[in-house]
Chain A
């Protein structure tokens, strides 16, 4: 149960190896999280389990394939509920960046990207939404991206998938608000993680711990959107309204 100060007891992570999700679990553990489920593609290969247990967490690992059919997703969600009882916070953290240049030319690669980041996420969100509604409380945290705020030439295959799930999560949040369930959309900028390793950093890049801090603060105040770093909110408010010819020249 979430308490009056916004602290939670249980969390389930879909995409349990995500660095941002792990940092979030660490931050929640410092505030009293006691049990967590990591839903991952390969339960045999989950790095960092000992670190989590050293924080005093009870950790369960569940098999979960983002590209699988909704039935398989539902089974993984049920397994998470079975391990935790109630789920106070569900983090939907899976996603791939993919090779953008390839995805621009290769339909199969573009579709694979969309299947994981959008179709898979739509499925998991729908299942979680129904389960949390029945539970009568809880929060879903979805890792969106500023890349979804305005598509740009460099990464529109990825950006479009995030734009899609961002819109879906916003609507889901409005749907669930009346049922005591919160949906928090997280829009990080460039985050230094293994997913972005080797890519040139951009101004105002951030790290997983900073994003995690914003997520925990957002959960505490029942926010519907958080940006990391925070200034991106205002930058993208402007960016959204830049005329196309100008936007093209500003971002490659």
Chain B
């Protein structure tokens, strides 16, 4: 028998979706297998730290497997930077363990409070996707417990079908219980950051296209409140000369210097954006910034998602291929015209993607945080979907909480291939989530 389960209402990070499930917190791979074997007719899904914005780690009336107790480091080679961890280990945990030895995860998402299992199931990307790919591209192998209860060792080469279905597969092929990652060498706990302003979106896009290759990390923030779409471009590289002995302080997980204000009204958002924008210098070169401030500024504000009030927030993150920049312009213009408050939008360039349900494709990704209760939000976002799908782009499932099944089919052309692979791994359809129900994935 797995550990006992408890009926609990669960939400996504956006706090705009909610359902009840029987939550189990297994302490090892064998417990996970047992929990899957006795999942009821509404199935089961794994849940990490609950950072998916929507309903991906909810399973109404079914079982949810809380993975946070599987948090051990199984093996670590400080010489090669290869680390094998339980899937419930967070990115913060990886950093805590590896940074003192001069290693850092090769890809980190915008929050360090995601588990390794969740990062693989959502195939998360970071600020370096344009040069180094996503989280899974730096993963050697994973351990997957499928609903027949047997742990499988999955690698890209030995079992490409299972690998591709699981990477970005939103937990619907089984439960990832461990993974082997290749870390990247760093010689300091700081990032050399270059900041520069761009007067409008065109300048931002042009400069990103030109300069991205020269930097490991690149991201831009667009001020949605202005018609031109002025922005702030941030480039970063791990500081420290190669070969210098790592002089590492303990991980500098310091709170950042800025925090979003009350995000509730249009006026506050506009004021915040203006103040924030002008507080940043026009150009700043070579400042050394702690890793945490550079990668995870929002982590410094515990529970920032609550700023959106009882109705919660939705994040709209899409990607469009190069050449479809007009879609970005239209989205920003329509959002502004609709008067729906968004703070700064995050703009990044992505490199090519791979797995059928994986989000990245070569192009531009734009992310907007929006209050779920805003009037007219549903038709506005449906309109965005149409533009994005029409341009050959897609919406990120780890963020989505409102897309329709038909739209998903248009955005993910390899969906049927994924379904076929999933059917082999989970023939009885045990792996289920609210997201899967809403989008008719499973």
Contact = CB atoms under 8 A, between A and B. Distances in A.
Interface of A: 1-5, 7, 9, 31-32, 85-86, 133-137, 178-181, 221
B238 interface: no
B331 interface: no
B404 A32 contact: yes
Given A5-B377, A86-B437, A136-B61, A180 B19 contact: yes
Given A136-B60, A180-B9, A180-B60, A4 B312 contact: yes
B102 interface: no
Interface residues of B, number: 31
17 contacts: A1-B438, A3-B55, A4-B55, A4-B312, A4-B372, A4-B401, A5-B314, A5-B372, A5-B378, A135-B60, A136-B61, A136-B62, A137-B60, A179-B7, A179-B20, A180-B18, A180-B19
Q: Is the interface of A mostly helix, strand, loop or mixed?
A: loop
B332 interface: no
A114 B152 CA distance: 61
A7 B382 CA distance: 12
Contacts of B377: 5
Contact of B437 (A1, A4, A31, A221): A1
Interface string B12-47: 101011111100000000000000000000100000
B270 interface: no
Contacts of A86: 60, 437
A4 B400 CA distance: 9
A183 B9 CA distance: 16
B16 A4 contact: yes
A134 B438 contact: no
B402 A137 contact: no
A5 B378 CA distance: 7
Contact of A5 (B7, B60, B402): B402
A172 B312 CA distance: 25
Question: Lowest 4 A-B CB distances belong to which pairs?
Answer: A136-B61, A4-B401, A136-B60, A4-B16
A31 B404 CA distance: 11
A180 B401 contact: no
Nearest to B53: A4
A31 B60 CA distance: 22
B137 interface: no
B19 A4 contact: no
Contacts of B42: 135-136
A118 B111 CA distance: 52
B372 A179 contact: no
A31 B20 contact: no
Interface in B396-426: 401-402, 404
Contacts of A178: 9, 20
Interface in B231-265: none
Given A86-B60, A137-B61, A179-B9, 16 more contacts: A1-B437, A2-B17, A4-B16, A4-B17, A5-B377, A32-B404, A135-B60, A136-B21, A136-B59, A178-B20, A179-B7, A179-B20, A180-B9, A180-B18, A181-B20, A221-B373
B378 A137 contact: no
A136 B20 contact: yes
B373 A137 contact: no
Nearest to B16: A4
Contacts of A5: 16, 314, 372, 377-378, 381, 401-402
B237 to A, nearest CB: 37
A220 B297 CA distance: 32
A7 B20 contact: no
A120 to B, nearest CB: 26
Nearest to A135: B61
A30 B9 CA distance: 29
Given A31-B378, A137-B61, A180-B60, A3 B438 contact: yes
B382 to A, nearest CB: 9
B54 interface: yes
Nearest to A132: B61
B34 to A, nearest CB: 21
B311 interface: yes
Contact of A3 (B17, B21, B61): B17
B66 interface: no
Nearest to A180: B20
B223 interface: no
A35 B411 CA distance: 23
Contacts of B17: 2-4
A134 B373 CA distance: 28
B19 A136 contact: yes
Nearest to B12: A4
Contacts of B404: 32
B434 interface: yes
A2 B54 CA distance: 11
A85 B14 CA distance: 26
**B21, B377, B437: which has the most chain A beta carbons within 10 Å?**
B437
Given A1-B434, A136-B62, A180-B60, A7 B378 contact: yes
From B314, B377, B438, residue with most partner A Cβ within 10 Å: B438
Contacts of B434: 1, 137
A135 B61 CA distance: 4
A181 B14 CA distance: 19
Interface string B378-406: 10010000000000000000000110100
B48 to A, nearest CB: 19
Nearest to A181: B20
